[in-house]
Amino acid sequence: MQILRGRRVLIGIGGGIAAYKVCEVVSTLFKAGAKVRAILTEASQEFITPLTVTTLSRHPAYTDEGFWQPIHDRPVHIELGEWAEVFVIAPLTANTLGKLAHGLADNLLTNTVLASECPILLAPAMNTQMWEQLSVQRNWQQLLSEQRYHSVGPGAGLLACDRVGSGRMAEPAEILAAVESLLHTGGKQDLVGKRVLISTGGTREYLDPVRFIGNPSTGKMGLALAQAAMHRGANVTLVHAPATWEVPEGVRAIPVVSAAQMQQAMLGCFPDADLIVMAAAVADIKPAEYATEKLPKKLLPTSLPLEPVPDIVAELGQRKQPHQRLIGFAAQTGDIVKPALQKLKEKKLDAIAANPIDQPDAGFGSDTNQAIFLDNQGRQVEISPCSKLQLAHHLLDFINAL
């Protein structure tokens, strides 16, 4: 999360039990090198204390009690509003939501919102019945119609009231990813109205119900691409092989296992997509025969007959329409550029990301990555090691320039 180093993030904490989750957000931001300031509403202090947030951010927390105590001889809300690069409000309560939707300011948090111009990230949290009230939804939609407001969540699950439903605040990892995206984009929504189709993960080709040919791909790069595209306003569909992570709220997920299943899903979604990114590590071969029951060890073949699997990206390249952009990935060892250029040409791609899997903290399973982007116009851009989410944004920037 190198992009966070030295960046200025303001956290507004509302009154709800989900406030305890914000402590992890504050702590993680500080550990990543960000400069963190926090405002606690009066209600939020029923759940966490200013001392807790002060300790985690290494900076005194701000409350309504200090409203008229200036910073550098300037009003607190003016100084904080102008200081922030990104303003996170979490949990966003129905009360604060109503105030923001109507431009009201009766505490330090809401005054600071009106005194700021930076992107604001909203993470709602409330009881399902409260969240689904027409008045709350009207306020929510009115607020999101303003360009500077961005949302993360709410999700669905077990709430503090023991009800299962929507209204659960986004998890800290989702909030942090959205902050990282906003710091990269400055809040621009350059993919609004675009339909983005992404494949990710390592497919599995089974010999019997328990044995398969596969690869170490975890699908984290495709997940990062889905997050980045969604944060930039796209309508995202993610076709993913078996994974241990959860698909973010707002992304349509199609789980698959084999290359044949991925082919079927991709071909089904392809005609409606504007941008297609093939980040999946699709198997090249599969066992020629499948046993419906587990083979005893003594019956395992000493020589395994194999056959090729469908070349999904090549098939999409043949079907691509003029308005569509098809992007591939080439995971390589050694020289990564030459085979990527060959794949770019042979598969009729618009661009390709060549990434080394023999470098530390890059490729399969890691949280970071590096790559060289190439397109069919001869451009070549090298991206140094960074988080996979940041690499995803760099790739979307590269694609936008096609």
For 343-356, write each residue's pLDDT tens digit. 999 999 999 999 98
The CATH architecture of the domain made up of 2-185 is 3-Layer(aba) Sandwich (3.40)
DSSP one-letter code for 299: G
To 10 degrees, the CA torsion angle through 67, 72, 74, 79?
A: -80
Question: Higher pLDDT residue, 115 or 246?
Answer: 115
On the question of pLDDT at 162 being above 80, the answer is: no
3-state helix/strand/coil string of 31-97: HCCCEEEEEECCHHHHCCCHHHHHHHHCCCCECHHHCCCCECCECHHHHHHHHCCEEEEEEECHHHH
Which of the following is catalytic: 23, 161, 269, 386? 161
Domain with CATH 3.40.50.10300 in the chain: 195-400
Residue 335 tokens read as 């020289």
Question: What pLDDT is stored for residue 68 in this prediction?
Answer: 82
CB 199 within 8 A of CB 266: yes
Q: Determine how β-strand 275-278 pairs with β-strand 325-332.
A: parallel
Separation between Cα atoms, residue 3 and residue 263, nearest integer Å: 35
Other beta carbons within 10 angstroms of residue 152's beta carbon come to: 28
Percent of the chain exceeding pLDDT 70 equals 100
Residue 369 tokens read as 């990555």
Separation between Cα atoms, residue 145 and residue 338, nearest integer Å: 46
> DSSP string covering 5-31, please?
TT-EEEEEE-SSTTHHHHHHHHHHHHH
pLDDT band at 1 (very low <50, low <70, confident <90, very high): low
Domain with CATH 3.40.50.1950 in the chain: 2-185
Mean pLDDT of 284-307: 90
Tell me how many helices (H) and strands (E) the chain has: 13, 19
In sequence order, the 6+-apart residues with CB closer than 8 A to the CB of 126 are: 16, 91, 93, 94, 136, 154, 167
Question: What pLDDT is stored for residue 53 in this prediction?
Answer: 97
Mean pLDDT of 135-141: 96
Residue 195 tokens read as 């339909």
Separation between Cα atoms, residue 101 and residue 146, nearest integer Å: 10
Question: What pLDDT is stored for residue 393 in this prediction?
Answer: 97
Separation between Cα atoms, residue 273 and residue 350, nearest integer Å: 15
Mean pLDDT of 282-289: 91
Q: Determine how β-strand 235-240 pairs with β-strand 155-158.
A: unpaired
Amino acid 281 reads A
Separation between Cα atoms, residue 226 and residue 389, nearest integer Å: 9
Tokens 């791909």, located at residue: 217
Q: Where are the beta strands (DSSP E) in 134-268?
A: 149-151, 155-158, 164-168, 195-200, 205-206, 212-213, 235-240, 252-255
Look up 386 and say whether it is catalytic: no
Question: What pLDDT is stored for residue 331 in this prediction?
Answer: 87
Residue 260 tokens read as 């044949």
Backbone angles phi, psi at 47, to 5 degrees: -115, -40
Tokens 């993360």, located at residue: 152
Separation between Cα atoms, residue 350 and residue 374, nearest integer Å: 9
Mean pLDDT of 62-74: 86
Say which range, 146-150, 289-293, 355-359, 388-392, has the weakest mean pLDDT: 355-359
- Give the residue from 280, 127, 247 showing the smallest Cα distance to 177: 247
195-400: CATH, from 3.40.50.10300, 1.10.3720.10, 3.20.20.70, 3.40.190.10: 3.40.50.10300
Mean pLDDT of 40-63: 96
